[in-house]
Amino acid sequence: DTAVSQTPKYLVTQMGNDKSIKCEQNLGHDTMYWYKQDSKKFLKIMFSYNNKELIINETVPNRFSPKSPDKAHLNLHINSLELGDSAVYFCASSQEPGSYEQYFGPGTRLTVT
């Protein structure tokens, strides 16, 4: 049984398009995250939701909009994609914010051409 799942696994699209990535966790955790891992493998937090409420919103362009319909799901919508958005996006979850162990999804490799 997959604990944290993401779809799609790969996403190739052109500049200017809008795309979404979906994430689901079946661990019963209250907190979910989106991370971006760039080509240099640096893993940086983008957003965090706790019980459907946005609690972390890093300096991310407002073309990125997260949505949490319930505490088991966190989606990421990206408008007007740019070349610099190419990266691997990881969803993660933890029992509570910050201090608790995080469990990562398999990642979505986004390539913008």
Partner 1 sequence: QKEVEQNSGPLSVPEGAIASLNCTYSDRGSQSFFWYRQYSGKSPELIMSIYSNGDKEDGRFTAQLNKASQYVSLLIRDSQPSDSATYLCAVNQRGRDDKIIFGKGTRLHILP
Q: Which residues are registered as beta bridge partners of 102?
A: 94
Closest separation in Å from C-beta 80 to partner 1: 26
Does 56 interact with partner 1 (rule: CB under 8 A)?
A: yes
Does 7 interact with partner 1 (rule: CB under 8 A)?
A: no
Query: Out of 16, 44, 53, 82, which residue is the one contacting partner 1 (CB under 8 A)?
Result: 44
Query: Out of 26, 53, 55, 63, which residue is the one contacting partner 1 (CB under 8 A)?
Result: 55
Closest separation in Å from C-beta 104 to partner 1: 4
Contact characters 73-102, partner 1, x per CB under 8 A: -----------------x------xxxxxx
3-state secondary structure 36-93: EECCCCCEEEEEEEECCEEEEECCCCCCEEEEEEECCEEEEEECCCCHHHCEEEEEEE
Exposed e or buried b per residue across 31-61, where buried means at least 16 C-beta atoms within 10 angstroms of its C-beta: bbbbbbeeeeeeeebbbbbbeeeeebeeeee
Query: Out of 12, 43, 53, 65, which residue is the one contacting partner 1 (CB under 8 A)?
Result: 43
